[in-house]
Structure 1
Amino acid sequence: MTERSKAGGRPRIAASVTAAGLFGAVAVVLAMTTPWNPLPGHVPGGRVEPDPALDFSPSEIARSKAFDSAVNPPAYTGLVVGLVVIFALGFTPLGARFIGWVTTRTHRRPHPPRGDDPPHPPERLRLRLWRIIVATMALTTVLRVAGLPFDVWSESVLRRYGLSTQSWPSWLVDQLKSLGVTWVIYTIALLLLYSVVRRFPRYWWTGAAAGGFLLVVLVSFIYPIAVEPVFNKFHSLPEGRLRTDLLAMAERDGVPVEDVLVADASRRTTSLNAYVSGFGSTRRIVLYDTLLKSPPARVESIVAHELGHAKRDDVLYGTLVGALGIAGAMCLLYLLMTSPRLLSRAGVAPTGPPAPTGPRASTGPPGRGRSGGAADPRSIALVLALVAAGTQVGAPVQNLVSRRIEARADAHALNLTRDPATFVSMQHELSVRNISDLNPDGMEYLLWLTHPSGPDRIAMARTWARMHHVPEPPPLR
């Protein structure tokens, strides 16, 4: 092995070790901090097993099954088609050819070079940035268009079951807003990534890992004030008994909450929901305006759940663990994007030799004169395909951890309100109004479910009642 090949292998070894260390750290953190048993301790009479028939009428169960059967086909088909499209673009030369075609037809030089002279360095930089921007917007648009028929199909199901209140023009505007947000986030991320790749061709994984970590934290922090208002209008919960009781409950719980916001969700849905987002100065507890029509005790129960997230800083925890995982993913991305076989399969030439010296040589820093490889904007399709694959692989773990964290927030709500009967009635109302799946199968748990099912949450409330020697909520039927 030559000295040059040894030197070329050192970054890959370092990236491999770092990726293994970061993923190992994520695994250890999740194993040690995930609340695998949110209700530890002895349960007199044993734990209550979930049983939809105890609390849901036959017609409610039948409606849930019918809705699940109607909404699953577009969800599964859309997922498969989306993966097929991005994998076809990323793992074959189709994506590189498409990017080459679209960037060639959209770029217009303000001052064409004379004769055979290459573009000057500032123009080369503008050209590279323009190609990245155009490629990112074109690819994400193609993916959105490919999934649009299935989104329309899903929206039709929601309308048929009374869950959607939007007109088609309003729905289309939301789709365009979502695409615009995707353009902004992906463009910024890819511009930063490809800048690091060109600046540090051998060790770009270090900058990408650090930048990915920081970008995830930044996006999570600013999301409530920069992205959420794009889709909803928010106002403070009006003065009154409910607001006073909710803020008093937060104070009693030791959770600093300056305000409780209400989102105008009713303009697009009839479903009930509440959530907590952001952290630090951007943390907020948000209620859907549809939820305010529920009895105050039920609203307090669901806000107590959100206070559980806030007290445990679940958003910050998830952000930091996710950022750590992204940092490891950037190291893995480096290993894959420096594979000559994978690059060739994607229609991107491996990194070429340094640019020639002489009067036409680049005056930029060493390494920037290399062509092809991960620095080639045509590899963006491959990057997006690898991101899609990684996201799909990690989804079951994320969903599993999320369900346990949600169960811990449920336990917090029960400890705070000490009212399992209201908790049960609230979960019943949520499940019926949202037409939740009352008996999800294994595939749905793996791919979609970030929360326990309604019957699971109701069974947990009855288990909590047994543990704390309070009256166990009777069946609702």
Structure 2
Amino acid sequence: MSARRLALLAALVLGAAVAVVIVVATPWDLLPTPPGGRTPVDPTATFTPAQVDRAESFAAALRPASLVSLLLSLVVAGLFGLTRAGAAIVRAVARPLGGGWVWQVLLGSIALLVLGRLVTLPLSAYGEVVRHRYGLSTRGWGLWARDVATSTAINAGLTALTLLAVVALARRAPRTWWAWAAGGAAALVLVGSFLYPLVIEPAFNRFESMPASALRTDLLTLAERNGTPVDDVLVADASRRTTALNAYVSGFGSTRRIVIYDTLLNQLPDDEVESIVAHELGHVSADDVLTGTLIGALGAAAGVALLGWLLGWTALLRRAGADGPGDPRAVGLVLFLIAVGTLLSTPVQNGVSRQLEARADLHALDLTEDPAAFADVQRKLGVANLSDPDPPALWQWIFGTHPTTAQRIAFVGDWAALHDR
């Protein structure tokens, strides 16, 4: 069997493994049908007419720009990957340093990613204007620019180093590089999952331990009752950037901590904060991060194996002006294929995410036994975060990471009916 066919076979086997994990690990049926049937999902009953109009107006102002930005980024990636333009840039930026293949990969990757980001930057700025207009963003333009620069630098730097490893493998092992790279990609996902809260989160927020208080004690007690001891309760200075409300549990083992946005503490009573944290603890109890990491690792390995098959396609390489996967001029093509693969996998990832979020909602209700607080906090989150109460079905299917607010409140109704509340 040729190396290219073997890569395709590996991609199919790994893809099937991803499908099996998704089917087995995803909670598809959380609650039985209550007596009298399911609670109707009614977005108009969740918010006042003024709140509905405001959220829909915000979505209408932001959604087209988001879609155009996505399409534009794909077009630019296609231009760099499916023409010789990307290869020309890769060679040009490395020429002042001698034009060696290492510099071509490192500087070429960074240049292509930064150029792609610059093309969509006006749309990002427009999105920030919209968020300011609706009171969702509190960032000054200096902090916005710093955040954009930081995220771009982190993404470009990590991507460049990853591609350098891939090209080095392809040059050293032309027939089996994709197998080694697939294993490395899976390992990178695993390591990244553990390092993210320690390395990436502090680049955007400052965290301080919550002072001793009844709420801190209650949250630690809630975590202990959940069987999830945490190292600390931290408050993030999110108000420097946004008025949105959020909380999460991050880290593993001795690094696990509850993180509360300061905006949350300023706007919600303690019982509603506890309801949100109970939801986040539900993710920990169900090992959702580990499940997501496993799916991500297998998916990354499958993607790299598929990349090995595609990069054996002579006509595709010729369009990019490259001779093979070990040629630095193939960097633009690789980035384009990654962008396409990421987009195609988005509906699957978000479909799984919505089910995991629903299970965490159920966990919060079971842990706190306070459906009224849970429903109230969902309404307040929807209002504060300007969540579209009734997004287009296709948009929700592709981009929705959580059930809609109306769906979550209807879920509370089902739970209450089953528990006689």
**Interval containing the TM-score (normalised by the shorter chain):** over 0.9
Contact 1:278 1:316 in 2 (8 A): no
Unaligned runs of 5+ in 2: none
Provide Cα deviations, 1:412-447, integer angstroms capped at 9, x if missing partner: 000001111110000000000111010011232133
Q: Aligned-pair distance for 1:284?
A: 3.1
Residue of structure 1 aligned with 2:343, choices 392, 396, 403: 392
Q: Aligned to 1:233, which of 197, 206, 210?
A: 206
- Partner of 2:178, secondary structure, is helix
Q: Summarize deviations over 1:33-81 as a string: whole Å, max 9, x none.
A: 1111222x24111111211222311101111111111111210111111
- Equivalent positions of 1:254-333 (< 5 A) are 254-293=227-266, 294-333=268-307
Corresponding residue of 1:25: 17
**How many Å apart are 1:108 and its aligned residue?**
4.1
Q: How does 1:27-426 map to 2 (within 5 A)?
A: 27-39=19-31, 41-104=32-95, 106-108=96-98, 127-293=100-266, 294-349=268-323, 373-426=324-377
Structure 1 position 283, deviation (Å): 3.3
Are 1:35 and 1:408, in contact at CA under 8 Å, matched by a contact in 2? Answer: yes
Aligned position for 1:361: none
**Contact 1:163–1:269 (8 Å) recurs in 2:** yes
Gap runs ≥5 in structure 1: 1-8, 110-126, 350-372, 471-477
Write the distance in 2 (CA, Å) between the matches of 1:423 and 1:258.
25
Q: Secondary structure at the match of 1:451?
A: coil
Deviation at 1:319, TM superposition (A): 0.8
Are the aligned partners of 2:231 and 2:254 in contact in 1 as well (CA < 8 Å)? no
Confirm or deny: 8 A CA contact 1:279 1:313 kept in the other structure. no
What secondary structure is seen at the aligned counterpart in 1 of 2:325?
Answer: helix
> What amino acid maps onto 1:211 in structure 2?
G
Stretch of structure 1 that moved more, 183-192 or 306-315: 183-192
2:139 aligned partner, one-letter code: Q
1 CA distance for matches of 2:273 and 2:179? 47
SS in structure 2 at match of 1:235: strand
Aligned equivalents of 1:436, 1:399: Cα separation in 2: 16
Separation of aligned partners in 1, 2:182 and 2:62: 38
Paired AA for residue 167 in structure 1:
G
The equivalent of 2:411 in structure 1 is 460
AA partner of residue 280 (structure 2): E
Cα pair 1:279 1:315 within 8 Å, conserved: no
Structure 2 CA distance for aligned equivalents of residues 443 and 50 of structure 1: 17
**TM-score using structure 2 length:** 0.97
CA distance in 2, matches of 1:258, 1:280: 8
Name the CA distance, whole Å, in 2 between partners of 1:232 and 1:387.
29
TM-score between both structures, scaled by the size of structure 1: 0.86
Segment drifting more, 42-51 vs 422-431: 42-51
Bigger helix share: 2
Structure 1 position 276, deviation (Å): 2.8
Give the CA deviation at 1:191.
1.5
SS in 1 for 2:402: coil
Contact conserved, 2:33 with 2:414, CA < 8 A, in 1?
no
The CA distance in 1 between the partners of 2:131 and 2:49, in whole Å, is 21
Q: Is the 8 A contact 1:82 1:147 kept in 2?
A: yes
Cα drift, residue 190 of structure 1: 1.0
Q: Name the SS of the counterpart of 2:229 in structure 1.
A: coil
